[in-house]
Amino acid sequence: MDRAGLIRDLHEIAAGMTKGEHRPAPQEGDASLVDQYGFSSLDALEYLLILEEKFDVVFEDEDLTEETLFSIEGLATYILQQKVGESRTLT
């Protein structure tokens, strides 16, 4: 899984959740999910559940921080770290 592809997937999933109501172009950098997609706290929770299922990761309670959840970049970093840790335990 490469970072650019993951970021693209994260944007596509977020955009799909807006059901055409608010579909801004992906922004560079660490723009928040609220700013980019108009997510409420419930939207963010639903988004995390979708990501857990799609990418087979678990967002641990202690990792639910603004840094991790604030932006697509933070989410991509977290998911990639989970996948790297998973591959190390399998080998």
Q: What is the pTM of this model?
A: 0.81
- Tell me, rounded to whole angstroms, the distance of Cα 47 from its chain centroid: 7
7 within 8 A of 73, measured Cβ to Cβ: yes
Query: Residue 71 in 3-state DSSP?
Result: strand
pLDDT in tens, 27-63: 556 678 888 888 888 998 899 999 999 999 999 989 8
Query: Residue 37 in 3-state DSSP?
Result: helix
For residue 8, pLDDT over 60 is answered with: yes
Specify the CATH architecture of the domain 3-90: Orthogonal Bundle (1.10)
Domain residue ranges in the chain: 3-90
Round to whole Å and give the CA distance between 53 and 45. 13
